[in-house]
Structure 1
């Protein structure tokens, strides 16, 4: 009987890599190292900002400049540095952790379209139900363009930080240790739990965040990259925060295009959490998962 030979250029999905018991132990060690480095650098940065530089930030109305600096710092200390260090230590390429160059622009574009489309659809449904009113533009054309570009950069950095931390290196190593779907569930629960740090979050919004986490983890499983997840995440936040000017995970920003308003029961409008805390957001998240499955080609070659 002839043994089958795998082609030299055969593609192995990062989240499907078979692991021996020794490789699983290695995955756990590297995961712990990644988390320790990312969390440690974040705590150091927060200490320096608060106690050395003595910077005070108004969380009720964050300016675009403050958000830009904060998200850039977060991306560097939570993702860029830890990932670079662990990649060098493990001698693995970035392509194994979702940052491959193949089809990145296509996946990013699809992610932006789906993320923006889902938030626009959510707001449109709430408007049709009579509980949401779109505001009028508050900025001049020049300011709208400048601030729009600024907020686009802010939410691009937010997506890189959050997706890179939870659904990049960490998801791959955890998948190697316990397989993909349990790993996706764990990282999604952590993603939802991080929203508990916002005092104005609601239980519905936290559940929805966990569901979105599963969808974005699946997008990595489906496509072999994080580009769709980053595009979806950034566009969802951009439409909600800048274009509509409403709360995003319970937090509002200043210098936005318009300030829209809600007028109805909190379970329908999302209450203090913003529209992503609406009961309507839950079935739309399921729809986003279906769309993700349909628009992303499986990465098997």
Structure 2
């Protein structure tokens, strides 16, 4: 009988399951939950109101549904706890969440400032033009992005990555979850080669951060903060979605080169972001590798004893 792979948390989560999900089925579940939740929310809202255009608050329902569907599958099909997806040791959550928030703000700020300093964009203070309702919405969208981004992290770098790691190992899991994450964004406006590259780089960076910390807390916080900062702090296009209600408004040069400005996809389709994400990977790779090595070293004595017996 083959031995289970030595996996650090949270990639080891699937090993807790009574009825584990395979890699292919996990991919299907994530895609079905992602698109199914959005479709169910849209159809439900349309049938009640007669409108095909969902209001902002339905985003919480639509994206939150992804986490709910994954959670139901994990609990009732696999027979394991929801927290095994990457939320063990909640006492460590506050510190990791703060690091994630700081990282998201730092990277978004560096990306915007670099764009402006290269002469490929302008930035202006927009707070004076914001109404009290705009300020309230800026705060509300923190919650919206927290639900949206965390649901994606749970589905991809939690559930799917655990299934991939159990079947193929850690390196393959990092690569496959990156491909899945990029594929889920393929329908966004302006999606192309550089956006794909950056989605892959972001996924690798966050995958390494998850490995380093042993949880999803920081990844959820980073992802949420990055999205909020681009759309509500800097009022710029985020993943093909335009925004003009930021505390600042960053406007890329209309005639600037798309590889720098990001084109219609926004700064996430820029070489600027690629360089920043590559630097992030370089910073996180060492600690992540050391943690994997430590997990294997800690398990080795027990395996040696089993072999002797």
What's 1:62 paired with?
none
For residues 126-153 of structure 1, the C-alpha deviation after alignment (integer angstroms, 9 at most, x for no partner) is 1111112112215447445412211211
In the alignment, which of 259, 279, 282 is matched to residue 271 of structure 2? 279
From the superposition, tell whether residues 14 and 279 of structure 1 become closer, same or farther in structure 2 (CA, over 3 Å).
Answer: closer
In the alignment, which of 97, 100, 103 is matched to residue 108 of structure 1? 97
From the superposition, tell whether residues 255 and 12 of structure 1 become closer, same or farther in structure 2 (CA, over 3 Å).
Answer: closer
The CA RMSD measured in Å over matched residues stands at 3.0
Per mean C-alpha deviation after superposition, the further-off stretch among 149-158 and 291-300 is: 291-300
- Cα distance between partner residues in 1 of 2:182 and 2:73: 27
Normalising by structure 1, report the TM-score.
0.81
Ranges in structure 1 where 5+ consecutive residues have no aligned partner? 1-10, 59-65
In the alignment, structure 1 residue 128 sits paired with structure 2 residue 128: no
For residues 45-100 of structure 1, the C-alpha deviation after alignment (integer angstroms, 9 at most, x for no partner) is 33334466432338xxxxxxx33321x11333211233134224333223321022
Secondary structure of the residue aligned to 1:211 is helix
- Cα distance between partner residues in 2 of 1:287 and 1:12: 24
Ranges in structure 2 where 5+ consecutive residues have no aligned partner? 1-6, 299-309
In the alignment, structure 1 residue 26 sits paired with structure 2 residue 20: yes
- Cα distance between partner residues in 2 of 1:95 and 1:48: 29
In the alignment, structure 1 residue 243 sits paired with structure 2 residue 233: yes
In the alignment, which of 132, 138, 145 is matched to residue 155 of structure 1? 145
- Cα distance between partner residues in 2 of 1:222 and 1:258: 33
In the alignment, structure 1 residue 206 sits paired with structure 2 residue 196: yes
Per mean C-alpha deviation after superposition, the further-off stretch among 244-253 and 187-196 is: 187-196
What's 2:280 paired with?
288
What's 2:180 paired with?
190
Normalising by structure 2, report the TM-score.
0.79
In the alignment, structure 1 residue 90 sits paired with structure 2 residue 86: no
Secondary structure of the residue aligned to 2:52 is coil
Secondary structure of the residue aligned to 1:261 is strand
What's 2:305 paired with?
none
Normalized per residue, the structure richer in helix is 2
| Cα offset, 1:273, TM superposition | 1.0
From the superposition, tell whether residues 248 and 129 of structure 1 become closer, same or farther in structure 2 (CA, over 3 Å).
Answer: same
> How many residues were matched structurally?
280
In the alignment, which of 52, 55, 58 is matched to residue 56 of structure 1? 52
Per mean C-alpha deviation after superposition, the further-off stretch among 287-296 and 90-99 is: 287-296
> Could you tell me whether the CA contact under 8 Å between 2:86 and 2:215 is conserved in 1?
yes
